[in-house]
């Protein structure tokens, strides 16, 4: 782009006033868009549509009278000399052979995706260079003038430091969509790559636009590409996927896309900044910027890629060099990063088929379309946490990479799943231990429990929720240890008097874990954990002991004890101790899943306003969860009367605040201990029943 280093061959130079002689290959599908656009351009004198090629001829009077019609490109090229431009709008698997055939004769407009493999992409680049031709790739969204505005707002720091980019696509495609042609929904056809999936064809613009905003154009601009591919339809390719990319500068780009939504919504790109967000609805050229100063919206114009290519060719052919402002919007070379993504999809394992129990078919016959249960929430979670569907632990997703290594807590006795009542060796899994090391750095990676379930299989924890993706099940975390954030998200500092995005996130690393299964009723997990600053230095060493035991047919108890030992002189705090009144969270924390009719109470108080900040001996949360009603009863630590942290209206969460208003100061090698018990029961308990449960089975 910019200045052309080689002179333009004399045979490629044309008078600047002549209408460009254009041929269109493929007049159906998206080819109809090109026909309409060429009609407009021809009316303005910019082009002459001299020929089209398609094995299925266009409808009568669909073309100008002087336009010749051919059955294929070879016939067209043999009979049509002096072409300036060939537009190829044909099935994906034909792009490479048609483009290679056209390049010796004319410059090229090639619909997206450019080709179906990285090898073909490189062949196409070589052929274009050898022929001295220009190639524009049909990513129309890149013509939006909003992209320049986005570049300017990032340069001005309007949304602060760019932390990540996400792309969200929620479209609906019915059965008929996949029967429109032999190649629809195919990974390959007759041994030829097709790669017609959600990320490479219908929502390819989402990925291409996100990459362009990130400045990722060439393949080498990407450090890594990960895929998590699924299908609800009876096809070969993916219709629902997460594509996670990291640029060479470390910027995460997560694209969560589906053709199995409840309803179609305009796709959008989200720029996640330290001081705000910018959301770009690229099909509408609409940009919304939200910061502390408020919200502004603007709709932009768009440059037509065909006109841009024609102008580029016209200016190129006037002489040996190009001015700096003359550039293709979507040149072939700039599709290198997108082709890295396509190649990762092409070479990935076949998309996993989503079980029918998680799919609802809406409509009848060929008009029916698949809707994946909870897909909208899944897309939001994936983009907020930069996580794959597998990492979210969705019931229809593949097991995460570390699934086989995870340890589980079980309780014994009782009767579940058809076992004989009181069977002493029957074990029920009640909690899964997540190492948390794959969690995004901004979320402060750390071990936690999720899912935690009642004996009746009601899930009572959540992790990576879209509202606070750093909330990780049930575990222990602090927002401020010597200035290091082990909680995730923004950090509240006394100096700023507000939450700020800071590069201060630490991680809690599991050094050792021993799970002992009791012969009667208990599982006990002993973990050795290292609290490490961003530079890898160790601030705290933790010994955490977690036990599970059955109480009765409807209840089990979770016991968690922690010993935090300072490796260096350490100050343990959080927002409360740093001046955020009423926000003293930090320590033991339990994020609950979405629930209804929730109530929180102690022996003497009821409701969030009264319970929050109290130091009651126990606290109960009862609600109706997705699988049924359940109650959790939390016992305060015996070591100190730490206040309860409660959120009910904004999100469902309960914590025991280690540093509510004051920091805990530890000299090197000094230890602070806390122990917690949680009774997890099926059904809704009353205050009297909760108190009786605590009194009857108080932790030793």
- Are the C-beta atoms of 475 and 443 separated by less than 8 Å? no
- Are the C-beta atoms of 481 and 540 separated by less than 8 Å? yes
- Are the C-beta atoms of 650 and 656 separated by less than 8 Å? no
- Are the C-beta atoms of 512 and 528 separated by less than 8 Å? yes
Per-position DSSP letters for 215-281, written without gaps between them? T--SGGGEEEEEEEEEESSSSSS-SEEEEEEEETT--EEEEEEESEEEEEEEEEEEEEESSEEEEEE
- For the residues 356-374, what does the mean pLDDT come to? 98
pLDDT of 699 strictly over 60: no
What is the pLDDT at residue 6? 43
3-state class (DSSP) for residue 693: helix
Strands (DSSP E) contained in 106-161 are 107-111, 135-138
What is the pLDDT at residue 696? 80
Residue 525's DSSP bridge partners are 515, 546
Strands (DSSP E) contained in 338-490 are 352-353, 359-362, 369-372, 407-412, 427-434, 448-452, 474-477, 480-481
What is the pLDDT at residue 316? 83
The three-point CA angle 501-503-508 to 5° equals 110
Q: Could you tell me the pLDDT band of residue 75, with boundaries at 50, 70 and 90?
A: very high
pLDDT of 5 strictly over 50: no
What is the pLDDT at residue 412? 86
- Are the C-beta atoms of 163 and 273 separated by less than 8 Å? yes
Per-position DSSP letters for 198-220, written without gaps between them? TTTTTTHHHHHHHHHHHT--SGG
Q: Could you tell me the pLDDT band of residue 403, with boundaries at 50, 70 and 90?
A: confident
Place of tokens 């339990």: 590
Query: Tell me: the pLDDT tens digits for 240-296?
Result: 999 999 999 999 999 999 999 999 999 999 999 999 999 999 999 999 999 999 999
How much is the pTM? 0.93
b or e along 177-201 (b: 16 or more beta carbons within 10 Å of the residue's beta carbon)? bbeeeebbbbbbbeeebbbbbbbbb
Query: Tell me: the pLDDT tens digits for 185-230?
Result: 999 999 999 999 999 999 999 999 999 999 999 999 999 999 999 9
Q: Could you tell me the pLDDT band of residue 700, with boundaries at 50, 70 and 90?
A: very low
- Return d(Cα 257, Cα 49) in angstroms, integer: 37
pLDDT of 329 strictly over 80: yes
pLDDT of 18 strictly over 90: no
pLDDT of 627 strictly over 80: yes
Q: Could you tell me the pLDDT band of residue 422, with boundaries at 50, 70 and 90?
A: very low
Q: Could you tell me the pLDDT band of residue 519, with boundaries at 50, 70 and 90?
A: low
Query: Tell me: the pLDDT tens digits for 45-72?
Result: 999 999 999 999 998 888 999 999 999 9
3-state class (DSSP) for residue 614: coil
What is the pLDDT at residue 2? 32
How many CA atoms, within 13 angstroms, populate the side-chain half-sphere of residue 112? 28
- Return d(Cα 619, Cα 611) in angstroms, integer: 8
pLDDT of 361 strictly over 70: yes
Residues above pLDDT 90, as percent of the chain:
90
pLDDT of 426 strictly over 60: yes
- Return d(Cα 607, Cα 616) in angstroms, integer: 13
What is the pLDDT at residue 322? 58
pLDDT of 369 strictly over 60: yes
What is the pLDDT at residue 59? 86
- Return d(Cα 678, Cα 624) in angstroms, integer: 18
Q: Which domains does the chain have, with CATH numbers?
A: 10-141 (3.40.50.720), 144-301+336-380 (3.30.360.10), 431-696 (2.70.98)
Q: Could you tell me the pLDDT band of residue 526, with boundaries at 50, 70 and 90?
A: very high
Q: Could you tell me the pLDDT band of residue 324, with boundaries at 50, 70 and 90?
A: low
- Are the C-beta atoms of 503 and 482 separated by less than 8 Å? no
């Amino acid at each position: 782009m910019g200045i052309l280093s080689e002179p333009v061959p004399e045979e490629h130079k044309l008078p600047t006033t002549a209408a460009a002689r254009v041929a269109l290959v493929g007049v159906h599908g998206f080819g109809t868009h090109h026909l309409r656009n060429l009609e407009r351009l021809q009316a303005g004198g910019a082009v002459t549509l001299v020929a089209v090629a398609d094995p299925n001829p266009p409808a009568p009077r669909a073309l100008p009278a002087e336009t010749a019609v051919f059955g294929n490109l070879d016939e067209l090229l043999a009979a049509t000399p002096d072409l300036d431009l060939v537009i190829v709008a044909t099935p994906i698997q034909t792009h490479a052979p048609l483009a290679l055939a056209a390049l010796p004769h004319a410059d090229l407009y090639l619909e997206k995706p450019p080709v179906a493999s990285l090898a073909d992409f490189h062949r196409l680049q070589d052929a274009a260079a050898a022929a001295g031709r220009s190639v524009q790739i049909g990513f129309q969204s890149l013509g939006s003038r909003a992209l320049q505005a986005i570049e300017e707002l990032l340069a001005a720091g309007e949304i602060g430091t760019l932390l990540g980019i996400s792309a969200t696509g929620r479209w609906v495609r019915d059965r008929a969509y996949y029967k429109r042609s032999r190649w629809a929904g195919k990974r390959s056809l007759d041994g030829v790559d097709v790669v017609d999936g959600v990320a490479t064809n219908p929502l390819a613009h989402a990925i291409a636009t996100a990459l362009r905003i990130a400045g990722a154009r060439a393949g080498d601009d990407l450090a890594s590409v990960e895929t998590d591919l699924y299908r609800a339809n009876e096809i070969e390719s993916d219709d629902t996927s997460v594509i996670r990319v990291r640029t060479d500068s470390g910027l995460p780009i997560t694209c969560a896309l589906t053709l199995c939504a409840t309803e179609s919504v305009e796709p959008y790109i989200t720029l996640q900044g330290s001081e705000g967000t910018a959301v770009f609805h690229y099909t509408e050229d609409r940009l919304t910027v939200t910061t502390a100063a408020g919200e502004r919206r603007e709709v932009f114009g768009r440059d037509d890629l065909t006109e841009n290519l024609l102008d580029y060719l016209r200016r190129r052919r006037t002489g040996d060099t190009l001015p700096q402002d003359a550039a293709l919007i979507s040149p072939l070379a700039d599709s290198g990063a997108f082709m890295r993504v396509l190649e990762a999809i092409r070479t990935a394992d076949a998309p996993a088929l989503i079980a029918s129990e998680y799919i609802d078919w809406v409509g009848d016959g060929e008009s029916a379309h698949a809707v994946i249960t909870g897909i909208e929430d899944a897309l939001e979670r994936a983009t907020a946490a930069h996580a794959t569907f597998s990492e979210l632990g969705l019931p229809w997703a593949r097991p995460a990479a570390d699934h086989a290594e995870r340890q589980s807590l079980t309780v014994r006795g009782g009767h579940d799943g058809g076992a004989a009542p009181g069977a002493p060796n029957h074990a029920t899994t009640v909690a899964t231990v997540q190492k948390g090391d794959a969690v995004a750095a901004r979320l402060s990676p750390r071990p936690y429990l999720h899912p935690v379930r009642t004996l009746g299989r009601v899930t009572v924890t959540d992790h990576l929720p879209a509202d606070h993706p750093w909330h990780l099940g049930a575990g222990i975390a602090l927002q401020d240890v010597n200035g290091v954030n082990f909680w995730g998200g923004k950090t509240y500092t006394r100096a700023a008097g507000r939450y700020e995005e800071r590069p201060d996130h630490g991680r809690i690393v599991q050094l050792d874990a021993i799970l002992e299964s009791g012969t009667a009723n208990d599982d006990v997990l002993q973990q050795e954990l290292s609290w490490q600053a961003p530079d890898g230095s160790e601030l705290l060493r933790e010994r955490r002991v977690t036990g599970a035991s059955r109480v009765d047919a409807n209840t089990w108890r979770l016991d968690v004890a922690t010993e935090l030992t300072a490796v260096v002189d350490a100050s343990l705090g959080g927002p409360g101790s740093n001046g955020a009144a009423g926000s003293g969270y930090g320590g033991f924390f339990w994020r609950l899943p979405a629930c209804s009719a929730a109530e929180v109470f102690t022996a003497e108080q009821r409701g969030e306003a009264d319970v929050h900040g109290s130091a009651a001996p126990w606290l109960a949360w009862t609600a109706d969860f997705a699988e049924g009603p359940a109650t959790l009863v939390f016992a305060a630590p015996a070591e100190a009367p730490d206040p309860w942290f409660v959120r009910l209206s904004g999100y469902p969460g309960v914590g025991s605040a280690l540093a509510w208003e004051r920091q805990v100061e530890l000299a090197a090698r000094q230890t602070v201990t806390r122990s917690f018990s949680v009774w997890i029961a099926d059904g809704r308990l009353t205050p009297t029943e909760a108190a009786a449960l605590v009194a009857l089975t108080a932790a030793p």
